[in-house]
Amino acid sequence: MINLHTTQLILRYPFVSVPKLNVACLRDSILGFFRLAFIPAGLMMSLFCGCQQSETPATTTVAGESSQSTENESNGKLATTKKPLVALVMKSLANEFFVTMAEGAKAHQEKSADKYELLVNGIRDETDLSGQVSLVEQMVSLGADAIVIAPADSKALVPVLKKAREQGIIVINIDNKLDADVLKSENITIPFVGPDNRAGARAVGEHLASQLGAGTEVVILEGVTTSFNGQQRKLGFEDAMSAAGMKVVDSQSAQWEMSVADQVTASMLTSHSNVGAILACNDSMALGALAATRAAGLGDKVRIVGFDNIQAVQQAIRDGQILATADQHGDQLAVYGIEYALKAIADPSTSLEDKQTPVDLVTAGNLK
Ligand code: ALL
């Protein structure tokens, strides 16, 4: 498990500004720069996952980038073939969901170390949009062959991704779908790999409703409101609540963040004294809601559900403090995107359809 300290290092180094060089040279320089100047061996693995020493003779490895030098028979010169570089650009690495995603991606790369290099990036917090835009720009400058991205905002990332595409870089959208209208107006298509968030949230909401009396007052904690997956989860919760005859008395954004959810929940509980349940669009916010209900002495009275299946919530479900969550298999989400990217690198004429990934209800009854 990557601890928070390591996560911050992952965050910090990609922001180092680098001198302008030609792309191939830039990529070599930056990889060497990270290795030589800053990254202790153990941490380098967090940044560059392709840095195992290859068994192949005449293979040089430079901080996650290995190039195979082969004798060119016709002129005796050395020719270099490089493995494709895939950049995974995620959201907040302070969120366990993305740490799990990074670990799944790293494990995949380690098994396919002869096929590609992986660079793992994330942003400071859930709302650091400009940080994510500049990460994409840096991945382009580094000469990434493909960018696999979980966008922090469904609209704001489209222009920079379009620029990446114009440079011939393959872009795969995972987790949070880019806005279809903005893509259309920019005249690009980007394949999406991720779950049906509305269906996942509906399943969680239905399980919650089965434990509540008819007409119970409930509130929703929304994610960043410009995120398509957050919007879909809200709709899924509303579907389940209205079908079961519950009353949604409030719905506010807590920006995907635990501490914000704590504050927002505290204020909602003050305004709505009869709230019987809180539906949080992710697990970080479910934990914030749990802190607030406990602080208000309502720990036993208010039911809470979330979305993500992070470890802290699994424990809270076992302990009976949180009722349910949805597992969207974060460890595999980036892997699906990377596999799509490798397919497109191997054959750029491949047309990639959107791919729906699994999402499952998690309760005390089925928690392993
Ligand atoms: C979404 C993910 C997770 C996560 C959230 C916070 O895109 O699907 O639910 O908790 O981002 O960034």
Distance between first and last Cα of the chain = 19
pLDDT digits (tens, 9 = 90+) for 314-348: 999 999 999 999 999 999 999 999 999 999 999 98
What's the pLDDT at 193? 97
What's the pLDDT at 72? 39
Ligand 1, residues 149, 279, 308, 313: which to mutate, most atoms within 8 A of Cβ? Answer: 308
Band (185; pLDDT cuts 50, 70, 90): very high
Q: How far is CA 334 from CA 31, 41, 194, 330, 331, in A?
A: 22, 25, 9, 7, 7
**13 Cβ inside 6 Å of ligand 1:** no
pLDDT at 39 over 60: no
In ligand 1, the atom with minimum distance to the C-alpha of 98 is 4
Q: What is the mean pLDDT of residues 236-241?
A: 98
In ligand 1, the atom with minimum distance to the C-alpha of 194 is 8
Distance CA 321, CA 302 (A): 9
Q: Tell me how far the alpha carbon of residue 59 lies from the centroid of ligand 1, in angstroms.
A: 39
What's the pLDDT at 81? 55
pLDDT at 76 over 90: no
- Which burial class, exposed, middle or buried, applies to 355 when counting CB atoms under 10 A from its CB (0-12, 13-18, 19+)? middle
What's the pLDDT at 186? 94
- Evaluate whether 105 touches 338 at the Cβ level (below 8 Å): yes
The answer for residues whose C-beta is within 8 angstroms of residue 297's C-beta and 6 or more apart is: none
- Of the two residues 66 and 184, the one the predictor is more confident about is 184
Q: Tell me how far the alpha carbon of residue 73 lies from the centroid of ligand 1, in angstroms.
A: 51
pLDDT digits (tens, 9 = 90+) for 83-95: 999 999 999 999 9
**255 Cβ inside 6 Å of ligand 1:** no
What's the pLDDT at 307? 98
Atom 2 (ligand 1): residue with closest C-alpha? 175
Q: What is the mean pLDDT of residues 151-164?
A: 97
**228 Cβ inside 6 Å of ligand 1:** no
- Of the two residues 196 and 50, the one the predictor is more confident about is 196
**100 Cβ inside 6 Å of ligand 1:** no
pLDDT at 7 over 50: no
What's the pLDDT at 43? 27
Q: Tell me how far the alpha carbon of residue 180 lies from the centroid of ligand 1, in angstroms.
A: 19
Band (17; pLDDT cuts 50, 70, 90): very low
* DSSP characters over 235-299: HHHHHHHHHHT-EEEEEEE-TT-HHHHHHHHHHHHHH-TTEEEEEESSHHHHHHHHHHHHHTT-T
Q: Tell me how far the alpha carbon of residue 55 lies from the centroid of ligand 1, in angstroms.
A: 38
Q: What's the pTM?
A: 0.82
Going by their DSSP bridges, the two strands 78-82 and 117-123 should be labelled as unpaired
Q: How many CB atoms lie within 10 A of CB 5?
A: 8
Q: Tell me how far the alpha carbon of residue 160 lies from the centroid of ligand 1, in angstroms.
A: 21
What's the pLDDT at 300? 87
- Which burial class, exposed, middle or buried, applies to 59 when counting CB atoms under 10 A from its CB (0-12, 13-18, 19+)? middle
Going by their DSSP bridges, the two strands 65-71 and 59-62 should be labelled as antiparallel
Band (12; pLDDT cuts 50, 70, 90): very low
Lowest mean pLDDT among 77-81, 109-113, 168-172, 271-275: 77-81
Q: What is the mean pLDDT of residues 246-270?
A: 98
pLDDT digits (tens, 9 = 90+) for 20-38: 333 343 454 444 433 322 2
Rounded to 5°, angle at Cα 364 from 358 and 366 = 45
pLDDT at 19 over 80: no
Rounded to 5°, angle at Cα 306 from 302 and 309 = 135
DSSP state of 199: H
pLDDT at 2 over 60: no
pLDDT at 121 over 90: yes
Crossing angle for the helix pair 197-209 and 228-244, to the nearest 10 degrees:
30
Q: How far is CA 273 from CA 42, 229, 250, 291, in A?
A: 51, 29, 12, 17
- Evaluate whether 250 touches 220 at the Cβ level (below 8 Å): yes
Q: How far is CA 134 from CA 102, 131, 157, 161, in A?
A: 19, 5, 10, 11
* Average pLDDT along the chain: 83
Set out the domains of the chain in order of their start, with CATH numbers.
6-193+330-354 (3.40.50.2300), 197-327 (3.40.50.2300)
- Evaluate whether 93 touches 46 at the Cβ level (below 8 Å): no
Q: What is the 3-state secondary structure (H, E, C) of 82-149?
A: ECCEEEEEEEECCCHHHHHHHHHHHHHHHHCCCCCEEEEEEECCCCCHHHHHHHHHHHHHCCCCEEEE
Q: Tell me how far the alpha carbon of residue 312 lies from the centroid of ligand 1, in angstroms.
A: 15
Q: Percent of the chain, pLDDT > 70?
A: 78
Going by their DSSP bridges, the two strands 85-92 and 146-149 should be labelled as parallel
Band (124; pLDDT cuts 50, 70, 90): confident
Residue tagged 């036993």 (tokens): 300
